[in-house]
Structure 1
Amino acid sequence: MSILTGNGLIILATKVSRALHTPIYYFLRNFSFLEICYTSVTLPNMLTNLWTHDRSISFLACAIQLCFLLILGSTECLLLTTMAYDHYVAICKPLYYPLIMSHKVCVQLVFGSWTTGIPVMIRQTYHVFSLPFHDSNKLNHVFCDIPPLLKLACSDTFLIEFSVYVVAELFVMIPFLLIIRSYVKIITTTLKLPSNTGKYKAFSTCSSHLIVVILFFGSATITYSRPKSKNSGRTEKILSLFVYHCNPNV
């Protein structure tokens, strides 16, 4: 409820207040909506399981849940990259900021972030659920995710693991490297500022976003770069929760 309320208030405030009709708050509004989507995909089923003590989930529901989580995960990677680029332009090219980050460009960046991963993640989900599974089908996880699902497969998963690795490189590592590139330029430019006040303002603007980047990309890299790793189920659960539910607003 706190996640829905907090992000809902952010969406409302950035929509109603004309002073907040700027690119960074436009991206923040989309990021808050993304967090609400995460909550809607996983928490209702988790709470129902806790309330009824029935921890079962149908094959179709599991596939749909995984598909939406992967799509939302790719969207978050791209949105965080877009926000890093926005910070870069604002700090490194302030005079050109209104021209570069026009409303049309912002809409295109957000639309691309939401839609780019859809066909890839639908195909990824299809590949995972086309595998034959053990008769028990006991998923040792809090929601449907790729690593625990591959552990249930009773056939060779090498090709699936390789495809997961490739997709992780495309939607996790490449965006992460682009974000690092943006922050290297931001830090270089900030250190050249003559006043300490300007340096503090620049760093404080980017600090919360950088924390989210470290938490999200660090957890996602460990989780999906080795989808069938020897990590314990408890470790995988914690990492997955960090990926999908522990991202503070930036």
Structure 2
Amino acid sequence: MSTAAQTKQPSLYREPIIPELVIPDLKEMERSGSYDRNVLLWLQDGYVNRAIKEHLPQLRELHTSLVESGESPEEMRRQKTQALVEFTRASYATEKAAGRGADLKGYIDAAKTFFEAESARYGGHLQELAEYIKKALENGEKPDIERHARHAYVSMAKLSGAMTHLEGLSGKPAALQVANLMRKGIEEIKFATIGDQPTNVGRELLKVVDKIGQNPSAYIEFRDPSRMGMPERGPWDYEPMHRQGGYNPGF
């Protein structure tokens, strides 16, 4: 019986509710070049969630009317997105008037939380990958080393990026934790065993990871986050099924 080791892969990036920045202050912060776009989209998600909760009856009514009118999926998506964008901007305007708009301190606090969460995601993937490889070997399977190496490379690159960002935010202890998390994950892959016998699979995998690092575009053409487009989905989907515990308005 095959294990999940054959298909295990990391989530390459978190998917924002609205894939573009629509709040003027956040757009201005992005234009300055001093802020990470992913963090800004994550900040925006907070206002989007507030807008969904505050305007859920109107959003439900719009959804129903669009279904009854027989609009195409593309037109339904466009009108839903437009409505959610307008409600989000209104929610943000209310927050800003109360003195709770986006600012440097809020960005730094959010960035630390964001990159710590990213570290947990990708560090966990490295540790799971070691476990899945071990189970595959115990079942007599031959792991696809190059495939797993591509995924390991992505997770290691994301962890390295998170560590760099945290150091830049004066989050030295957090950056050290990320470094330790990556080291632990790598060691678990490197020393995968069957029973008490160590194998060379982990070592071979890390050799391929190093090879990928020398020319990533030759291996990660369809997996590099910077090369991937947003998946097509409804604008009111809080996120695809893999985001657990998030708010879901039920559309």
Normalising by the residue count of structure 2, what TM-score does the alignment of the two structures yield? 0.34
Q: Work out which of the two has the higher radius of gyration on C-alpha atoms and give 1 or 2.
A: 2
TM-score by length of 1: 0.34
| Higher helix proportion | 1
